[in-house]
Amino acid sequence: MAHLQQSAIFTPGVVESIQHKAQTGLYEMRGFGTLRQRRWATFDDLTFLPCSLTRIPLEGYREKCSTKTLLGTRYAKKPIELDIPVMITGMSWGALSYNAKVALAKGAAAAGSSNTTGDGGMLQAERENSRTLIYEVLPSRYGINIHHMRMADAIELTIGQGAKPGTGGLLLGSKVSNRIAEQRDLPIGVDQRSPARHPDMLGPDDMIIKVEELREATDWQVPIFIKIGASRVFDDVKLAAKAGADVIVVDGMEGGTGASPSIFQEHTGIPTLGAVCEARLALEDCGLYGEVQLIIAGGIRDGVDAAKAIALGADAVYIGTAALIGLNCNKPLYLEDYEALGTAPYACHHCHTGRCPVGITTQDPELMQRLDIDAGAERIQNLLHAMTLEIQMLARSCGKSDVHHLEPEDMAALTMEASAICGIPLAGTRKVFGR
Amino acid sequence: MTQLNAADLSTRELNSRLRDLVARDDAEIHVENPGARHNLAVAMLKSGKIRFRGSVGYYCGGLADGISIEIDGSAGWGLAESMLGGTFRVHGNAGNGAAAAIRGGTVVIEGDAAARLGVSMKGGTVIVAGDCGYMAGFMGQKGVLVVCGNAGDAFADSLYATECYVGGEIKSLGTDAVASEVTDEEAAALESLLAANLAPELRALKPQARRFRKVVAGRKLWNFDKREWKIWREAL
| A·B CB contacts under 8 A | 109
| B101:A200 CB<8 A | yes
Region B109-118: mean pLDDT is 98
Task: Show the DSSP H helices in A156-221 as ranges.
Answer: 178-184, 204-217
Q: What is the largest CA-CA distance in chain A?
A: 73
Distance in angstroms (rounded) separating the CA atoms of residues B106 and B79: 12
On whether any CB of chain B is under 8 Å from the CB of A210, the answer is: yes
Query: Residue A309's Cα: distance from chain center in Å?
Result: 13
Angle at A372 between CA A370 and CA A378, to 5 degrees: 135
Q: Look at residue B232 in the predicted model and tell me its pLDDT.
A: 65
Mean pLDDT of A33-54: 92
Chain A CA closest to residue B123: A185
Report the residue from A145, A150, A209 with minimal CB separation from B39. A209
Chain B neighbors of A20, CB-CB under 8 A: none
Q: What CA–CA distance (Å, rounded) separates A355 from A368? A: 10
**Stated length of chain B:** 236
Q: Which residue has the higher pLDDT, B229 or A229?
A: A229
d(CA B230, nearest CA chain A) in Å: 11
Asked whether the beta carbons of residue A191 and residue B160 sit closer than 8 angstroms, the reply is no
User: Mean pLDDT, to the nearest integer, of B12-24?
Assistant: 95
Contact map slice: B 29-68 vs A, CB within 8 A: 38-39, 42-43, 45, 57-59, 62-65
Instruction: Please tell me the distance from the alpha carbon of residue A363 to that of residue A356, in angstroms, as a whole number.
Output: 9
Beta strands in A126-210 (DSSP E): 132-137, 154-158, 170-171, 192-193
Closest CB from A184, A185, A200 relative to B77? A200
Taking each helix axis as running N to C, give the angle between helix A373-397 and helix A303-312, from 0 to 180 degrees, rounded to the nearest 10. Answer: 50
To the nearest 10 degrees (0 to 180), the angle between helices A373-397 and A98-110 is: 40
What is the predicted pLDDT for the residue at A132?
Answer: 98
Q: DSSP H helical segments within chain B, as ranges? A: 11-23, 184-197, 200-204, 229-235
Would you call B141 an interface residue with chain A, using a CB distance cutoff of 8 Å?
yes
Amino acid at A175: K
Q: Touching check for B123 and chain A: CB below 8 Å?
A: yes
Distance CA A338, CA A358 (A): 9
Instruction: Pick A199's closest partner by Cβ from B15, B120, B224.
Output: B120
A263 touches chain B (CB under 8 A): no
The pLDDT of A401-407, averaged and rounded, is: 98
| Closest by CA position to A131, among listed A108, A151, A156 | A108
**All domains of chain A, ordered by start, with CATH?**
28-49+65-406 (3.20.20.70)
- Tally of CA atoms within 13 A in the half-sphere of A60 that contains its CB: 6
What pairing do the DSSP bridges indicate for beta strands B122-128 and B106-109?
Answer: parallel
Q: Which fold has domain B93-235?
A: Pectate Lyase C-like (2.160.20)
Residues B112 and B116: their CA atoms lie apart, in Å, by 12
Amino acid at A203: G
Express as a percent the part of chain A with pLDDT over 70: 100
More confident residue, A7 or A38: A7
Residue B203 has pLDDT above 80, yes or no: no
A317-334 per-residue burial string, b: 16 or more CB within 10 A, e: under 16: bbbbbbbbbbbbbbeeeb
Residue B73 has pLDDT above 70, yes or no: yes
B179 touches chain A (CB under 8 A): no
Specify the DSSP class assigned to residue A310. H
User: pLDDT tens, A340-384?
Assistant: 999 999 999 999 999 999 999 999 999 999 999 999 999 999 999
Residues of A with Cβ-Cβ distance to B97 under 8 angstroms? 199-201
Which chain B residues have a beta carbon less than 8 Å from that of A218? 43
d(CA B106, CA B209): 19
Kindly tell me if the per-residue pLDDT of B226 is higher than 70: no
pLDDT, position A3: 76
Task: Assign residue A303 a region (left: φ > 0; alpha: ψ between -120 and 50; beta: otherwise).
Answer: alpha
pLDDT in tens, A80-125: 999 999 999 999 999 999 999 999 999 999 999 999 999 999 999 9
Chain B residue with minimum CA distance to A24 = B226
Q: Do A210 and B59 touch (CB under 8 A)?
A: yes
Provide mean pLDDT across the span B97-124. 98
The answer to whether the Cα torsion of B8, B13, B18, B21 is positive or negative is negative
What does pLDDT average to over chain A? 96
